[in-house]
Amino acid sequence: MANHKKNLFEMGTDFGDDWSSDNKDKPSKEVYTEIKIPEKHQLHFAKEKRRGKVITIVKPFYLTKSDLQVLVKTLKKKLGAGGTIKEDSLELQGDIPKQVQKHLESMGYHFKN
């Protein structure tokens, strides 16, 4: 008499092509934002403290993702600071709004007063 063990994890469910690992439909994050030239921007600053360090946030940018990546790379190089992109804003390490404003204005960007 052979001792056959059944696979306990085989429940007979058919996992079709449209099956995903969770049962929630994820909303698409495709948000249309108007692309504007630098002169049409009205930027403003925000400051946050993260892990005891200050970061300078500049927003909102109306640029393509690739243009924003080029801009943050340029600013990081000119300022000697780390930084990243979060949606329509740039986050730069340090309390440096004056320096950021100077560089962005030289590139043609405008700020709210």
pLDDT tens for 43-53 read 999 999 999 99
Angle between helices 65-79 and 97-106 (to 10 degrees): 120
* Contact criterion met (CB below 8 Å) for 72 and 82: no
What are the boundaries of each domain within the chain? Answer: 42-106
**Percentage with pLDDT > 90 across the chain:** 60
Domain 42-106 homologous superfamily, CATH: SUI1-like domain (3.30.780.10)
> Smallest Cα–Cα separation from 74: which of 98, 52, 103, 101?
103
Label each residue of the chain as H, E or C. CCCCCCCCCCCCCCCCCCCCCCCCCCCCCCCCCCCCCHHHCCEEEEEEEECCEEEEEEECCCCCHHHHHHHHHHHHHHHCCCEEEECCEEEEECCCHHHHHHHHHHCCCCECC
> 33-75 pLDDT, tens per residue?
688 888 898 999 999 999 999 999 999 999 999 999 999 999 9
Q: Is the pLDDT of residue 90 over 90?
A: yes
> Residue 3: which pLDDT band, with cuts at 50, 70 and 90?
low
